[in-house]
Amino acid sequence: RLSLRGIRKRFKAVEVLHGIDLDVKDRELIVFVGPSGCGKSTLLRLIAGLDPITEGEFLLNDQRMNDVAPSRRGIAMVFQSYALYPHMNVYENMAFGARLMGLDKAEVEARIAEAARMLRLEALMERRPRELSGGQRQRVAIGRALVRKPQLLLLDEPLSNLDAALRSDVRLEIARLHREIGGTTIYVTHDQVEAMTLADRIVVMNGGRIEQFGSPRELYETPSNVFVANFIGSPR
């Protein structure tokens, strides 16, 4: 269970999140949509603990997380820019976070084998990130997060670099893993179709605020304003 209460974020004097309130239940897959620059990635980074919250409170299962170190939040994040460890090969990249969690070697190996199979990375396990294409790097970043089976999984446009066939496969695998892990997933995308098909509920953001939070059906049938109606209604 995740709660955001009056979250504000300022970079120097500029405020980019203007008071975000959100309550997410366990096992929900929540999709964030909204135009470029509206604050989606910033909000994910605050939740992951990579940037301090300027004002407001973030609770996970009723525990205040504002000042908890990122590694102790039980959260895994896939970044828009992958952020792989350049000196480690694919296998080591995927094993790193899981080992830190104290899982035994056999369990880590089994989880990596499963992730490698579903993300089609088996043949690439010895390569380093610089020897991979953009889409391959993105798959490693997804695998690294999934291997940890986190209670809260944050995915920032995880499919943007994949071709259409792989995109629909990986999207289905993410949905399956979300259900299997039984935690909460927050998924950022620009793709309305992705949002409508994956989400239990969708957060529509604009200019550092939430315009509407509801099921795909609610947003489609009863958009709270013209912005939401246009955003949901206009395939890109």
Beta carbon of residue 39, minimum distance to Mg ion (angstroms, whole number): 8
151 vs 160, which CB is nearer to ligand ATP? 160
Beta carbon of residue 47, minimum distance to Mg ion (angstroms, whole number): 13
39 binds, among ligand ATP, Mg ion, none (CB under 5 to 8 A by kind): ligand ATP
Compose the 136-175 pattern: x for residues touching ligand ATP by CB under 6 A, - for all others. Answer: ----------------------------------------
Q: Say how far residue 162 (Cα) sits from the centre of its chain.
A: 16
Torsion, Cα 202 185 210 4, to 10 degrees, reads: 140
Residues that bind Mg ion (CB under 5 A): 41
Q: For residues 140 and 90, is the Cβ–Cβ distance under 8 A?
A: yes
Q: What is the b/e burial string over 57-72, where b = at least 16 CB atoms within 10 angstroms of the residue's CB?
A: ebebeeeebeeeeeee
Beta carbon of residue 23, minimum distance to ligand ATP (angstroms, whole number): 21
Residues in 11-50 that interact with ligand ATP by CB under 6 A: 11, 16, 34, 36-42
Beta carbon of residue 44, minimum distance to Mg ion (angstroms, whole number): 8
Compose the 51-80 pattern: x for residues touching ligand ATP by CB under 6 A, - for all others. Answer: -----------------------------x
Beta carbon of residue 173, minimum distance to ligand ATP (angstroms, whole number): 23
80 vs 168, which CB is nearer to ligand ATP? 80
Neighbouring CB atoms inside 10 A of 227's CB total 16
78 vs 112, which CB is nearer to Mg ion? 78
Beta carbon of residue 236, minimum distance to ligand ATP (angstroms, whole number): 12
Q: List contacts with ligand ATP (CB under 6 A).
A: 11, 16, 34, 36-42, 80
